Amino acid sequence: MGSKNVVVLEDFFPAMVEKLGAEGFMKELSNGFGLLVDGDKGVITFDSLKRNSALLGLKEMSDQEAVCMLREGDLDGDGALVPSCLGSVLS
């Protein structure tokens, strides 16, 4: 972490905050990660990120962005994020 060459989660937040407002954004964080979760698996995956990022007001996420976002939060390296895990990244 800390490299300027990677897209980190925080890079996405300003656009989301702008879209949702700070209060709405925090509400989205606490309630709405279901939007990014793969409905079958109950975790956030590369595919679910790509598919659902638009629902959070993000532009279509590039493959690289999705990979970086997953890598940032995927502490156990299995390629999937659980929402609680992502929450800890955000705080």
Give the footprint of Ca ion on this chain (CB under 5 A): 74, 76, 78, 80
Nearer to Ca ion, 39 or 77 (CB): 77
Q: Tell me the closest approach of the beta carbon of residue 17 to Ca ion, in angstroms.
A: 25
- Range 40-66 burial, b when 16+ CB lie within 10 A, else e: eeebbbbebbbbbbeebbbeebeeebb
Nearer to Ca ion, 7 or 89 (CB): 89
| Token pair in block for residue 8 | 């980190």
Residues 65 and 6: their CA atoms lie apart, in Å, by 8
Q: Tell me the closest approach of the beta carbon of residue 28 to Ca ion, in angstroms.
A: 21
Nearer to Ca ion, 23 or 76 (CB): 76
